Chain A
């Protein structure tokens, strides 16, 4: 009988059923689309944010007192658990040198690094690592060093030395000399403008520190820090530690890298990591808020449609109550109707939302998107949430109908 009541109710009031259906479909599809692309947006934004620079710094451990890291250990960074999250890294070897050029002499820092080194690690995909990858904001006039005796000079140092592209700078460290050809002038807006950047191998020879590295900057995709991520790993239980280690917090990725670099201490560069985390958290919150707003708007539309339909149906409800229907039986009819509309609306909403997510992903990020498996139940649940939230007020009105007043006369 309930089925007959529901079937006839749908067939005899197609307009109001359609309005409720459209409202539910809109809510479910917007929720599906937003939640579907939120993961993609977070990933793309995290990649974009990597252009702000490295977020992990590896330095020699004070405890081991070695003063340097080993260049031979660097390829191991591409073998760690979080290797796919590490988008790039570059080593630096610093030393104080006396520079001379064009008859001028200046004391400054010579910095050996990788500019764009082809790195091949057994069992891993070949990659290019170096400062060009992790510091894309460096503005280099001229070109990047390609040969062992080529260098780029920071803009401030170049100005003091009167160096220009094509000129030469001679660096002297403890009596050992190296003549560099200036192939580029670099502007960064930071301390790098006071340095001369040369290939790592040449700098190691100049400083007489073969195979040594002063520090390594690592750029990694991480998730925003939360209260759990901020906990001290040393005070965690085994289960907590495993959970922490398997979550891409900047601290756990740093710990992961530290484990493969002998004598190193890895620490997050907090001004970068926390800014990224905060931005991603805000972005996720924004997506969630937009999803909730869309669902609330749909629920309100459902509520308005059902309220209008309720006015039309009040004699029918009054009659049902008069012949003995209690609150549960009246509720069962309304919830049954809502359930059917929301299941169908959820399925249609999922299909539309999935298409919408694809369109947004193609238009905004120029990439395709694969729907995660949880999106379908999410769409159905969103439809239920919209339908039931929108039904509360109309149902209360239905239950408060007094047969005596409505059936009078």
Chain B
């Protein structure tokens, strides 16, 4: 059995003539926290979307959790996402007319069965036990991001993807979110792929890869924080 949760070989993604991701060979061991850095248009979000089964590559191979994503149908990819992946978005993307707890329960509903007690526990773990019935519009940016984290972890994913999860947060909230993620990762042992512009945020990971113009240009191991 492969020790890697993610393995890519010559992974490519083109949009017409534009090559967003040039052939990439990447292995991510299970449990690793990998930070992906690069400028805008460097291909980091493209990589994250491919690994998360949100997009399809135009070339190469892509194995995630032993699953060949290229062979999956649309519904197969949806099943893969709900069973295997948790996603934290920069813009939070919470459903505005649902409360915090309902936003978390929605992920449970698509996965299996909504369980209010479990959803409450997830929100308590991210420190929002007192904001269960509040709608996203009534929460601060940091709180919304924590609801997003609770939603991402509610189905115990093996892989947590973060697309600039602290991009819209102030320094204090950023630290709070990163500490929370570190703590949850320690408990849940999921693998983290985090796309970021921020060197400080990237430093929370075990390893950082740098992309430029769709190519892997540099890789560095980080010291534990």
Contact = CB atoms under 8 A, between A and B. Distances in A.
Nearest to B74: A327
Interface in B61-110: 74-75, 78-79, 81-83, 85, 87, 89-91, 93, 95-98, 102, 105-110
B82 A324 contact: yes
Contacts of B74: 326-327
Interface in A366-385: none
A1 B99 CA distance: 12
Contacts of A407: 89, 91, 93
A2 B105 CA distance: 10
B55 interface: yes
Contacts of A5: 98, 106, 109
B110 A324 contact: yes
Given A322-B81, A325-B110, 5 more contacts: A12-B97, A323-B107, A324-B155, A325-B82, A327-B75
A322 B93 CA distance: 10
Given A320-B106, A407-B93, A1 B78 contact: no
B95 A316 contact: yes
Interface of B: 45, 49, 54-55, 74-75, 78-79, 81-83, 85, 87, 89-91, 93, 95-98, 102, 105-111, 114, 151, 155
A8 B97 CA distance: 6
A409 B54 CA distance: 14
A215 to B, nearest CB: 75
Contacts of B45: 408
B90 A409 contact: yes
Chain A to chain B: the 10 pairs with minimum beta-carbon distance, closest first: A324-B82, A12-B97, A1-B109, A326-B78, A1-B114, A324-B81, A8-B97, A326-B75, A325-B110, A324-B110
A323 B87 contact: yes
20 contacts: A1-B106, A1-B108, A4-B102, A5-B98, A12-B96, A12-B97, A315-B93, A322-B87, A323-B106, A324-B78, A324-B82, A324-B85, A325-B82, A325-B110, A326-B74, A326-B75, A326-B78, A326-B79, A329-B110, A407-B91
Interface string A309-348: 0000001100111111111110000000000000000000
Given A321-B78, A322-B81, A323-B151, A404 B110 contact: no
Contacts of B49: 404
A160 B74 CA distance: 93
Given A2-B109, A404-B49, A323 B82 contact: yes
Contacts of B82: 323-325
Interface of A: 1-2, 4-5, 8-9, 11-12, 315-316, 319-329, 402-404, 407-409
Contacts of A1: 102, 105-106, 108-109, 114
B128 to A, nearest CB: 18
A173 to B, nearest CB: 93
Given A1-B105, A4-B102, A319 B78 contact: no
A404 B87 CA distance: 12
A12 B105 CA distance: 19
Contacts of B89: 407
A283 B89 CA distance: 61
A324 B107 contact: yes
Given A327-B75, A407-B91, A320 B110 contact: yes
A319 B81 contact: no
A140 B79 CA distance: 86
B110 A409 contact: no
A322 B151 contact: no
Contacts of A4: 98, 102, 105
Contacts of A321: 78
A301 to B, nearest CB: 25
Contacts of A325: 78, 82, 110
A409 B110 CA distance: 24
**Most chain A CB within a 10 A radius of its CB, from B55, B81, B91:** B81
B54 A404 contact: yes
A402 B56 CA distance: 11
Contact of B55 (A319, A324, A327, A404): A404
**Most chain B CB within a 10 A radius of its CB, from A319, A323, A403, A408:** A323
**Most chain A CB within a 10 A radius of its CB, from B45, B54, B105:** B54
Given A1-B109, A325-B110, A327-B74, A8 B98 contact: yes
Given A323-B107, A324-B81, A11 B97 contact: yes
A1 B89 CA distance: 23
A409 B83 CA distance: 24
A403 B89 CA distance: 12
Contact of A323 (B79, B81, B97): B81
